[in-house]
Amino acid sequence: MFGAVTPQGNPAVFQVTANRQVIARERITLDDKCQSGNTLTLVVGSDEALTVSRKGTFSGSASAGPTTEPDGRIATFSDQVTGKFNKARTQFTVTWHNVTTVKDPATGMSDTCDSGTVSFTAID
């Protein structure tokens, strides 16, 4: 397991195979700033494996939705992640970006929320 605290002050964890060739799953908490002025705090991630190249790099993207939230709003999510291990593969730098769109069918209003680029180092 690799972990970090992001510059936003939130946790990020990564399950990595013993040979450090695959990132099996990842979870991160992000604060997305919305056009409305609100902030969404989200836990995002994936159980889809990210293959680590011979040079120690990895990348992936995912999207989900639309999903109906308990309050009736409809959300869609999009994530992009890139990273690179150090030579010893004891840590890696990560860049994560999330965009979430929330639509309220009752009012017809839509709000786009963006984490911006969140970069950090995860350590074994």
Look at the chain and report how many structural domains it folds into. Answer: 1
The predicted-structure confidence for 57-85, as pLDDT tens digits, reads as follows: 999 999 998 999 899 999 999 999 999 99
The pair of three-digit structure tokens given for residue 71, joined into one six-digit string: 């309050």
Closest to 33 measured CA to CA, from 94, 100, 121: 100
Residue 52 CB neighbours (<10 A): 21
What gap in Å lies between CA 99 and CA 91, rounded to an integer? Answer: 26
Whether a cis peptide bond, with omega within 30° of 0, leads into 105 is: no
Model pTM?
A: 0.89
The boundaries of the domain holding residue 59 are 2-123
- pLDDT score for 16: 96
